[in-house]
Amino acid sequence: MLTCTVIYAQEEGVDLAPSRLASSGLAGVLKCSVRREGGEVDIKEGEKEEEVEKKEEEKEEEKEKKEAEEEEEEEEEEEEEEEEEKEKKEEEKEKKEAEEEEEEEEEVEKKEEEEEDTRSPAGTKYGWWCVGKGDEGGDRHEEKEKEEEEEKEKEEEEEEEEEKEEEEKDEENEEEKEKDE
């Protein structure tokens, strides 16, 4: 509800009571100062109370819009920070996995070297690859090594393909998340 202080109603010879002002037709026509919770608003000559209320409502709406925009900006900043943290965690995880894989490969290589050291030379009756005599055993040993190398290469290729598929899945998941957002 508006409370109006009439500035020059006495010059017009009108009683200052609001009900009398309204009945005399001067309500909202005289120059007034309107008091509300938010402060004082000037009513210009000929301006109605509804117009003043509209202006105040527009001001409040603008204020609410600004607050909503600020909240949205804060939320966007928080989401960006969360995404950055996720990316950092993923990078660290990938680094750890790569280090673990390297360590495993080194261990496998060491074991293979140790196994090679314990083998007896080709051509002796104690050689694990040796079935025949002399050069035949050596040839079989070379064939066995070739087969092992080919198996290793196949395993490495399979691991690389699996890693590629996992990376592609991760990228697809990220793209879907971005689309959803």
pLDDT, tens only, 112-135: 887 766 555 554 545 445 444 444
Last residue of some domain: 118, 139, 158?
118
Residue 97: in which H helix or E strand, if any? helix 49-118
Q: What's the rounded Cα separation, in Å, for the pair 19 and 110? A: 103
Asked whether residue 66 carries a pLDDT value surpassing 50, the answer given is yes
Instruction: Note whether residue 73 is domain-resident.
Output: yes
Instruction: Note whether residue 39 is domain-resident.
Output: yes
Specify the number of domains making up the chain. Answer: 3
pLDDT score of 105: 92
Instruction: Note whether residue 177 is domain-resident.
Output: no
Cα distances from 71 to residues 59, 64, 77, 85, in angstroms, run: 18, 10, 10, 21
What band does 33 get if pLDDT is binned at 50, 70 and 90?
A: very low
What band does 60 get if pLDDT is binned at 50, 70 and 90?
A: very high
Who's near 62: CB < 8 A, 6+ residues apart? none
Instruction: Note whether residue 179 is domain-resident.
Output: no
More confident: 76 or 175: 76
Task: Give the domain range for residue 143.
Answer: 122-150
Q: Are residues 89 and 140 in the same domain?
A: no
More confident: 11 or 77: 77
Q: Are residues 98 and 113 in the same domain?
A: yes
Q: Are residues 79 and 41 in the same domain?
A: no
More confident: 99 or 14: 99
Q: Are residues 111 and 63 in the same domain?
A: yes
Strands (E), 30-96: 32-36, 39-43
Q: Are residues 58 and 114 in the same domain?
A: yes
Q: Are residues 62 and 101 in the same domain?
A: yes
Q: Are residues 17 and 75 in the same domain?
A: no
More confident: 145 or 4: 145
More confident: 30 or 42: 42
Instruction: Note whether residue 131 is domain-resident.
Output: yes
More confident: 37 or 156: 156
Its pTM stands at 0.30
pLDDT score of 10: 43
Asked whether residue 99 carries a pLDDT value surpassing 50, the answer given is yes
Instruction: Note whether residue 130 is domain-resident.
Output: yes
Q: Are residues 58 and 20 in the same domain?
A: no
Count the Cβ atoms, other than its own, within 10 Å of residue 41.
16
Instruction: Note whether residue 100 is domain-resident.
Output: yes
pLDDT score of 93: 94
